[in-house]
Amino acid sequence: MKNKKNRQNTQMFFMIVQIVMLAIIIIQIGVLQSSIGTTDDSEIIKIAPTEVAAKKTSPSIPAGAADFSDDDAVKGDADAPVTIVEWSDFECSFCTRFYSQTLPLIEQNYINTGKVKLIYRDYPLPFHSNAQKAAEAAECAGEQDKFWEMHDMLFDKGVSGGVTAFKQFATDLELNTQAFNDCLDSGEMASEVQKDMSAGQAAGVRGTPGFLINGELISGAQPYAVFEQAIEAALN
């Protein structure tokens, strides 16, 4: 009788252990599914295994710590009190979302009213096959004072057509096509694009789009309200 009772106790013990282990496994699966199901609002390039793009904001960088403006295209009043530096990729869907949904509101409420100037810098991700040449195309158009026109066309029409499409865009914009084609084919702007990327990495950008708003780093195609809050804080 005693042995039977001991066996029952042993069986009960192992049953409890199995239940606890099963519960732990279920919890771990739930956490993993939650992690997999979480989507970021930027396309990420990892510079080191431990680095990931921030979802909202990361620690601010002093506004005067470095000059991230270079000689890139500027939209807005040069003396505007707030500067937004944008690092972007013409093949990035999140960048397109910012361009189509958020930028028009920033332009209407802040750029056109003289409160904000926007500086565009290139950050073509290596897994986007047409992003590098698209960035160069915009820079080449900028040599003829048509950067923003090419910028808009690349986002509006997309970059899937590659260099052939970019040359057609130049024709549509009535650029000097010979000069544009020579610039694009020679890779003349490749070093400029790389310089923009290096500056972005120095600023803490790890994915596209990435922004500095008077030194405050914001990652991803955040809703307009996030930019509004950061701009208002900078104005005050």
The answer to whether residue 22 scores a pLDDT higher than 90 is no
Angle at 129 between CA 143 and CA 72, to 5 degrees: 25
Query: What are the boundaries of each domain within the chain?
Result: 1-38, 43-235
Instruction: Tell me what pLDDT residue 95 has.
Output: 97
Structure tokens given for 13: 């013990």
The answer to whether residue 23 scores a pLDDT higher than 60 is no
**Pairing state between β 116-122 and 82-88:** parallel
Residues 147, 139: contact at Cβ < 8 Å? yes
Instruction: Tell me what pLDDT residue 72 has.
Output: 79
The region of weakest confidence among 39-43, 61-65, 208-212 is: 61-65
Read off the pLDDT of each residue in 24-49 and give the average, rounded to a whole number.
Answer: 41
User: Percent of the chain beyond pLDDT 90?
Assistant: 69
- Angstrom distance (rounded) from CA 219 to CA 54: 6
pLDDT for 198-214, tens place per residue?
A: 999 999 999 999 999 99
Read off the pLDDT of each residue in 41-65 and give the average, rounded to a whole number.
Answer: 39
Instruction: Quote the radius of gyration of the chain (alpha carbons, Å).
Output: 25
Instruction: Tell me what pLDDT residue 224 has.
Output: 97
Question: What kind and span of H or E run contains 19?
Answer: helix 2-37
Instruction: Tell me what pLDDT residue 35 has.
Output: 33
- Yes or no: is domain 43-235 CATH 1.10.150.530? no
Whole-model pTM?
A: 0.74
